[in-house]
Amino acid sequence: ITAQGSAHLITLKNPTVSNDLPNSGTGTYNAIRGGTAPTVLFATNGSIQPEVVGNLTTASISVNFSTGAANASFAGSFADGGNGGTFTLSGENTTAFNNSTFANVPLSGSVVSAQISHTNSNCSSSCALTGRTDMQIVGSTGQGIGGVFDATTLPRVGGRPVFGVAGSYLLEQTSNQQNFNFQFLQQ
């Protein structure tokens, strides 16, 4: 299988060290402060279409600092040559931040687009997605979270998914916005 599409990376200069994380409480990071716009590849009638740049409309990561559990959710939209498409992803890792400020969360969700199709499948009502996000808590005391996410459909065309999305993000707590000078690499 030949890789297609853009690569997404984010550089985080100030990772939080484990000892500087709060010992209790929950941090909800949901203010999008940076990252790359998600890129999308999809098949129409079994043919892979040119990559499109979409929008990350919402992103939220909640961390329970007492248990290390993390919940992540992402939603976005993209042009599909028709009425447009949308994707949603969410997941949980109950031990994500137990021993580190770097973690991953498995994601599942759906994509809806009347333009995504192949012989055995059509995503006009929805197709299942599976993926993951890798993330790092940043700032001197965990003011933000940055990372990358990706997901693909389970229906395959010639071994390839009929839809794939990837992007990067930098999130800050809405309740604690302090206009930190986060630096990120944008594609």
pTM for the structure as a whole? 0.87
What are the two backbone dihedrals, phi and then psi, of residue 59, each rounded to the nearest 5 degrees?
-150, 140
pLDDT tens figures, 74-103: 999 999 999 999 999 999 999 999 888 999
**Strand spans (E) along the chain:** 26-29, 31-34, 39-44, 47-48, 52-53, 55-64, 70-78, 85-93, 102-112, 117-118, 121-122, 127-138, 144-153, 156-157, 160-161, 163-172
Residue 184 has pLDDT above 60, yes or no: no
Point out the least confidently predicted range of 1-5, 13-17, 106-110: 1-5
Residue 166 and residue 174: Cα distance in Å, rounded?
24
pLDDT digit string, tens, across residues 130-169: 999 999 999 888 899 999 999 999 756 566 788 999 999 9
Higher pLDDT, 46 or 59: 59
55 and 48 in contact (C-beta within 8 Å)?
no
State which amino acid sits at residue 110.
S
Record the tokens describing residue 74, joined without a space. 């992402």
Cα gap 148→168, rounded to integer Å: 4
How far, CA to CA in Å, does 165 sit from each of 68, 111, 131? 27, 10, 9
On whether the CB atoms of residues 107 and 71 are closer than 8 A, the answer is no
Considering only 54-58, 116-120, 142-146, which range has the smallest mean pLDDT? 116-120
Question: Which neighbouring-strand residues pair with 102?
Answer: 136
